[in-house]
Structure 1
Amino acid sequence: MNVSLIYPLLSRSRSLIDENKQYWPPLGIAYIAAVLEKNGHKVNIIDRDALLRKNSMDFDRADRETEAAIESINSDIVGIGGTTPTISDVFYVAKIVKSHNPKRIVITGGPHVTAEPESTLKDCDYIDGVVRGEGEFTMLDLASGMPFDLISGLTYRDKGQIFSNADRPLFQDMDSLPLPARHLLDMKFYTRPSRYISRNLNLRSTSIFTARGCPYQCNFCAGPLFYGRKVRFHSPQRVMQEIRTLIDMYAIEGLYFAEDMFLSDKARAQKFMELFKENKFNKKIKWFAQLRTNIVDRELLDMMKDSGCVQVEYGFESGSQRILDLMGKNVKVEKNIQAARITRSSGLRFQGNIITGYPGETEEDFNKTLKFLWKVRPNTISLNLFMPLPGTSVYKMLKEKSMQVPSWDVIGDPEGFNFNYADMPHKRFERLYMKARISTVLPINLFYFIKYNLNNPIRLFKMLATQFRGVAIKLVRDLYRSLHE
């Protein structure tokens, strides 16, 4: 069969100021595309965010090009991947597809619909089926013409009723997957020099997944629902093959390892570092990875630095032990401080990710987080508002308490988020949050951004001119709100 795979947009208001999403290639659907192609199916990938940027933010033209791309291969199946903040565009695209050809099969997948399969079908009559969990082999069954009622991992409608088949077991042999079909993506577009993937270093960068799954049970995270709790790894040799392809074909300068559990297996990590140096990748690219503070030690960090790593990323989330416990982080504040200290002493930079506004957070907890940030002084801070994601423990808790949750468009959009789950008045929380962005996050981020990009002033000034529009808009809004309170 012919299959179009679509990566949807954020809400229109958020798309106009969000500058980050356009640099991340949609590897999830690229993996699906690779499996389909390997089995003889014709596939194209349509990234609506890329279309929007290439058409000067003209939404109508992006819609027309989406339709034209589907028609270009006369698609039998249209698969739309999506997260919670993009689900409205999933519904919108499904309607466009069906209005042009009601016989086309429209399928959606991703973390959001895995958590809410039946409500997705109830909310959108234009969707025929929902792929729950990993989509490679469920989509392959669909493209091979298997009847819906025989396909594991599928929720579907039939004659006005909704049926859910048994879950599909997670496949274990990660190396049996072909490399993601990046040849179907405009990699020149994604690898433009930017500060996003390379965490404030202006490099031609891209992302890679070398593992799936996470054994931890953070109450705010929906990852294990989608990828499972058992960590499944690509072999170090397979990872080297993919990295060499990225260097040779796309001339990347930076690489971000996007999985949650990059170095949880220390034996694998050591082999990885050895191969990185053996292949001289440490001389060709800089790389970045997410780590948990409870697994790092100085030896591991020194190995990473020696093999070309320049920055790691920690989910500190809070400087309050009480909030960390409520989140189910299973880590101590002291351990986070220790990890920050040994990371800095190793010569690696680090980013600190923070979630604020978590249910039950008090002003005292908030202030502890600010003190923590000034104590550990990350090179980059990502300050995020808590967003209740379907499929998470905290989302379930809020629903059980009959607490209101925001519309899907608003989730993930700090500029449009008017819900307050913190244990303080909304106006007070909003004021603390804005003050933190202006007086803590902005100065630290801006200082290190300029410091680490002075060696390439042309790129630095180009980036300041082209990639800080969203930051400027948010800063003006924050200042306006603070002055009018």
Structure 2
Amino acid sequence: MKNKNVLLIEAPYSYASAGKEVVGKYFPLGIGYLAAYIRQFGYSVKIFQPSSDESYNQELKDIVRSFRPSLAGISVMTPSYPRAVEICDIIKSNDRNIVTVLGGHHVSAVGKEVLEQSSNIDFSVIGEGEITLHELIRALEPGGPEYEEIKGLAWRDNEGNIHVNDSRELIKDIDSLPFPARDLVDMDKFRLHSYIDFGKRSATMITTRGCPYKCAFCSSWLTMGARYRFRSVENIMKEVRELVEGGIDHIVFEDDTMALKRDRIMAICDALIEMPNRPSWYCLTRVDTMDYELAGKFKAAGCKMVNFGIESGSPEILKLVGKKISLDRAVEAISACRKAGLRTQCTFIVGFPIDTEKTMAMTYSIAKKINPTIAIFFPLTPYPGTRVYNEFLDKSLMPHSVEEWLSYIMTDNKSGISLNSNYTGEEIKAIANKFNRKFFFRPLHILDMLKTVHSPTDLFRLSRGALYLSSNYLKELARGGAS
């Protein structure tokens, strides 16, 4: 390496401009952890934080020229993959000697293909990235390890042949990791989704890594593994106090299932209850972890809203995707939260391979029966590495180039891929939009939602979120594509 400068980037993907005030731009925790880990070893690390989407490319060129990194690491989700390739092209056009490394969910699923699809990508990091990235940086320096010795790495040899090394073991003691390097960015430029932002200054953090459930549609376990690893309560509270001392008054815990281990979540709540200036918070968990006792504890500890993934109103589909929940339990969990004074957010998916008009109507019906504060209906997107992608996607539709991935991704302007032989991607997307609109604009639901409002700011954020989530339906209606 020509120097010890490392540039880290989260590849962006955009939403409709009409939703910019509602859809959040979160601090990239993965990049933050990588930065904190790498700089322990004497490297100078910067996190790229452009001032606007419009000036993104120019600011990227500017930081490449001024910082002169030896290595650029880019975090990639499937919707941001085409943009990540473009970022590598920009970096290489400015300096061919900068080593480009991609990691994240998408790369963990198709790391070899990523290298095949762009010569401007030098390495892929598959799975958890901290140790692999550090070893790769060492390999670029005199006396470092050989590429073939680095677990979790995909690389290209001098003849252009691509190699994928053995998988890396998961980090057992995640307390040993330094807190994300939030000091490398302007935290005021990040914001949460408006309908889950309950503070004046908010942040995200995680208390666990991994998810043991491996639902058929979910790709999160590809990077962080299927084994659940817990941070200690002491370590968690140290980070919470650090955030609060830095002016944070609301935290979104991004764990896939925060309440999986009951005695642990109770201990976290007890610690928060004892904290005199505790922040408010939001988290995600499963319905089979929630009851009135825990909901009451959440409320006392400062929780404002809990997110539950319900996915479908069809027991057959829930079994197919490996969700392992009962709909009766879902009703009970949301009822317990409501009784305790917590807001709830539930997510649903339409367009599963065996979905029919009847089963999708069942999904909408269970949403009405559960009646969470916020319900969001998503069209199914088969992400690489998931079971729905591997088992249900026609092999002829699997993308094999950056251009094909660009067409594959579902956005505001493109319908994406459907796994359901009876519905096109456009039709599935229209159904999701219609359900979002119908759910929010029910008079009784509006009244229920207003009961949870405690300030004009609350009302503004919830209303803005509802309008955004229904806006796609209104666009479809204007084009004559919704019913």
- TM-score (norm: length of structure 1): 0.89
- Aligned mate of 1:30, from 29, 32, 36: 32
- 1:446 Cα offset (Å): 6.3
The structure-2 alpha-carbon separation of the partners of 1:203 and 1:357, relative to structure 1 and needing over 3 Å to count, comes to farther
How far apart, CA to CA, are the structure 2 residues paired with 1:334 and 1:449? 22
Residue of structure 2 in register with 1:301 after alignment? 295
**Aligned-pair CA distance for 1:5:** 0.2
Q: Contact conserved, 2:436 with 2:469, CA < 8 A, in 1?
A: no
Q: Deviations over 1:245-281 (max 9, x none)?
A: 11111x2222111011211111211211111112234
1:39-438 map, 5 Å: 39-47=41-49, 51=50, 54-55=51-52, 57-58=53-54, 61-144=55-138, 145=141, 146=144, 147-159=146-158, 160-191=160-191, 195-196=193-194, 199=196, 201=198, 203-249=200-246, 251-281=247-277, 284-399=278-393, 402=396, 407-408=405-406, 410-413=408-411, 415-422=413-420, 424-426=422-424, 429=428, 432-438=431-437
Q: Deviations over 1:215-258 (max 9, x none)?
A: 11210111222111111111111111111111111x22221110
Cα distance in 1 for partners of 2:414, 2:350 equals 16
Distance in 2 between the 1:451 and 1:442 partners? 15
Cα displacement (A) at 1:15: 6.7
Which sits farther off after the overlay, 29-38 or 410-419?
Answer: 410-419
How many angstroms apart in 2 are the aligned matches of 1:303 and 1:87?
Answer: 41
- Tell me, yes or no, if the aligned pair for 1:219 and 1:327 is still in contact at 8 Å: yes
Deviations 1:49-72 (A, max 9, x none): xx2xx33x42xx211111212333
Letter paired with 1:420: S
Are the aligned partners of 2:99 and 2:122 in contact in 1 as well (CA < 8 Å)? yes
Distance in 1 (alpha carbons) for counterparts of 2:79 and 2:38: 27
Structure 1 pair 64/141, CA: closer, same or farther in 2 (3 Å)? same
Q: Deviations over 1:172-217 (max 9, x none)?
A: 11111011000011101115xx543x62646432211110011112
Give distance in 2, aligned partners of 1:202 and 1:382: 22
Measured in 2, the distance between the counterparts of 1:120 and 1:20 equals: 32
Aligned to 1:5: 8
- Give, in angstroms, the shift of residue 429 of structure 1: 4.7
Q: Is the 8 A contact 2:101 2:124 kept in 1?
A: yes
Change (3 A) 1:343 1:461: closer
Distance 2:272 2:482 in 1: 54
1:280 to 1:482, Cα distance in 2 relative to 1, 3 A: farther
Change (3 A) 1:404 1:67: closer
When residues 140 and 346 of structure 1 are mapped into structure 2, their CA distance, relative to the original with a 3 A threshold, is same
Cα deviations by residue, 1:393-424 (Å, 9 ceiling, x for unpaired): 11001346645677346535254224333353
Q: CA separation of 1:446/1:157 partners in 2, compared to 1, >3 Å: closer, same or farther?
A: farther
Task: Indicate if the aligned counterparts of 1:200 and 1:449 stay in contact, CA closer than 8 A.
Answer: no
Q: Secondary structure at the match of 2:131?
A: helix
Maintained 8 Å contact 2:69/2:98:
yes
Letter in 2 for 1:268: R
Counterpart Cα distance in 1 of 2:112 and 2:387 = 19
- 1:358 partner SS: coil
Q: Which moved more, 1:328-337 or 1:349-358?
A: 328-337
Relative distance call for 1:375 and 1:416 in structure 2 (3 A) is same
Residues 363, 399 of structure 1: alpha-carbon distance in 2 compared, 3 angstrom cutoff: closer
Aligned identity (percent) is 29
The one-letter code of the counterpart of 2:419 is Y
Could you say what secondary structure the match of 2:287 adopts? coil
Secondary structure in 2 matching 1:43: strand
Residues 433/70 of structure 1: CA separation in 2 closer, same or farther (3 Å cut): same
Question: d(CA) in 2 for partners of 1:348 and 1:460?
Answer: 16
Secondary structure of the corresponding residue to residue 359 of structure 1: coil
- Taking a change above 3 Å as real, the CA distance of residues 109 and 383 of structure 1, as seen in their structure-2 partners, is same
Deviates more, 1:14-23 or 1:314-323: 14-23
Change (3 A) 1:129 1:218: same
Aligned-partner residue type, residue 125 of structure 1: S
What's the secondary structure of 1:163's corresponding residue? strand
Cα deviation, residue 143, structure 1: 2.3
Unaligned runs of 5+ in 2: none
Listed one character per residue, the Cα deviations across residues 328-353 of structure 1 (whole Å, up to 9, x for unaligned) are 11112222122222222222211111
- Rounded to whole Å, the distance in 2 between the matches of 1:257 and 1:404 is 34
Q: What is the CA–CA distance in structure 2 between the aligned matches of 1:398 and 1:318, rounded to whole Å? A: 18
Deviations 1:104-157 (A, max 9, x none): 111110010110011100111101100011111111112223332222111011
Cα distance in 1, alignment partners of residues 59 and 386 from structure 2: 35
C-alpha distance in 2, partners of 1:410/1:450? 39
